Amino acid sequence: MNNLTAMKGIPVKKVERSKLQDIPESIPFGKYFTDHMLEADYENGEWKNVEIKPYQPLVMSPSAAVLHYGQSIFEGIKAYKDKNGNAYIYRPHDNFRRFNISAERIQMPAISEEIFIEGMAKLIELDKNWIPDREDHSLYIRPFMFATDEQIGVKPSDTYKFLILLSPTGPYYGAPMRIYVEEKYTRAAPGGVGYAKTAGNYASSLFATAEARRKGYDQVLWTDANEHKYAEEIGTMNVFFIIDGKGVTPDLSTGTILEGVTRDSAITLLKDMGVTVEEKRVNLDEVVEAYKAGKVTEIFGTGTAATISMIRELKYKDTVMTFNEDSWKIAPEIKRRMDAIKNGSAPDIHGWMYKI
Ligand code: COI
């Protein structure tokens, strides 16, 4: 093992030749992966075999529990570089906390901060040259965990794998979006797993999204499972409405909405901008009324992958709400402030940037 070196406790096996030069300048989301990955195993009640090694396929049993019942969770985080070439991870401790909340919800073991945060930092340090410099580009970080027991009985696995992949990436949604308000299919119901970042939540979203695409829309706005009249999330994002100059977003008390880190950043930045924020159940009939009275000026989604994504059109029942994003003031200002903190051109007053 010629290239095996110890990196602050985590063994590192480096690639012989980097693939970095094969990456196009404008990078689609999630299609390219860096030279290395982190891998760890959970066995006999403890995490072990933590290592950083060349990105490579996994060998696993066809009876691995994850392939049958989907015991699997993930996170999405981003790393950036400032103009001096220093690398930073955006709010990784928030994702660490949420990862373990997701783990608990589907009977998986917690991961330690040492593996999740320090392992991630070591991995990024090694593949730091992969952090793109281009505007709206970043290094997307994908930690995930899945069940590896070779058994097809329905029960929590006794063994798991945890991995971190890094993917240099461009924008997730290229342009302002057209959204269909979904009143038949449901993303999450009270008592379910909507607040957790389980793989299954995303699998179960695919059908409704495909239906919306067939109708000519980019994504759906999910509504509550009982009455289909309260806004929940947009596609893979949290949703914000600017109504009468206030920021309005669904509150988290139903347990059906993911506690987005970018959602929290947007709320904080709105308050910094002097905009009142209301977290509450958002009745779409009331949104339509406010729209007709000229009070709804912006609708946007927030997410790690998507950052801030403007909504150009929202169709709810017979009403099509349209917006001209060129005249928007608030969402572009949130994005501007967030980008400035991320690229180091504004002070990190909220302590969001974790220096590697
Ligand atoms: C993220 O925003 O990081 C997400 O998890 C969405 C992802 C499914 C692309």
Mutate which of 144, 219, 236 to test ligand 1's pocket (most atoms within 8 Å of Cβ)?
236
Looking at the CA of residue 74, tell me the nearest atom of ligand 1.
5
Looking at the CA of residue 29, tell me the nearest atom of ligand 1.
9
Distance 76 CA to ligand 1 centre (A): 6
Same domain, 84 and 144: yes
Residue 104's CATH number: 3.30.470.10
Distance 153 CA to ligand 1 centre (A): 30
Looking at the CA of residue 236, tell me the nearest atom of ligand 1.
6
Q: Where are the beta strands (DSSP E) in the chain?
A: 4-7, 10-13, 36-43, 46-54, 72-74, 77-81, 87-90, 138-147, 160-169, 177-181, 219-223, 230-234, 237-243, 246-250, 277-280, 282-283, 296-303, 307-316, 319-322, 353-355
Same domain, 64 and 137: yes
Could you list the residue range(s) of the whole structural domain that residue 33 is in? 4-169
Examine residue 35 and state whether it is found in any structural domain, yes or no. Answer: yes
pTM of the model: 0.95
Here the tokens at position 24 are 């196009």
Q: Which residues line ligand 1 (CB under 6 A)?
A: 76, 202, 236, 303-306
User: In whole angstroms, what is the distance from residue 293 CA to residue 313 CA?
Assistant: 17
Residue 54's nearest CA partner among 88, 86, 11, 118 is 11
Distance 140 CA to ligand 1 centre (A): 10
Same domain, 211 and 312: yes
User: In whole angstroms, what is the distance from residue 183 CA to residue 235 CA?
Assistant: 14
Examine residue 349 and state whether it is found in any structural domain, yes or no. Answer: no
Distance 64 CA to ligand 1 centre (A): 25
Distance 256 CA to ligand 1 centre (A): 16
Same domain, 164 and 235: no
Which DSSP symbol is given to 232? E
Looking at the CA of residue 202, tell me the nearest atom of ligand 1.
8
Here the tokens at position 194 are 């909507």
Same domain, 40 and 152: yes
* Phi, psi for residue 279 in degrees, rounded to 5: -100, 115
Same domain, 203 and 336: yes
Contact 91, 130 (CB under 8 A): no
Question: Can you list the alpha helix ranges (DSSP code H) found in 161-279?
Answer: 199-203, 206-214, 261-272
| Through-space distance between the first and last CA atoms of the chain, rounded to whole angstroms | 27
Same domain, 190 and 53: no
Distance 191 CA to ligand 1 centre (A): 22
Q: What is the pLDDT along the chain (356 residues), one digit of tens a residue?
A: 334 444 568 999 999 999 999 988 888 889 999 999 999 999 999 999 999 999 999 999 999 999 999 999 999 999 999 988 999 999 999 999 999 999 999 999 999 999 999 999 999 999 999 999 888 889 999 999 999 999 999 999 999 999 999 999 988 887 889 999 999 999 999 999 999 999 999 999 999 999 999 999 999 999 999 999 999 999 999 999 999 999 999 999 999 999 999 999 999 999 999 999 999 999 999 999 999 999 999 999 999 988 999 999 999 999 999 998 888 999 999 999 999 999 999 999 999 999 99
Examine residue 348 and state whether it is found in any structural domain, yes or no. Answer: no
Name the domain boundary from 147, 169, 191: 169
Same domain, 127 and 238: no
Same domain, 139 and 247: no
Here the tokens at position 127 are 């593949």
Looking at the CA of residue 262, tell me the nearest atom of ligand 1.
2
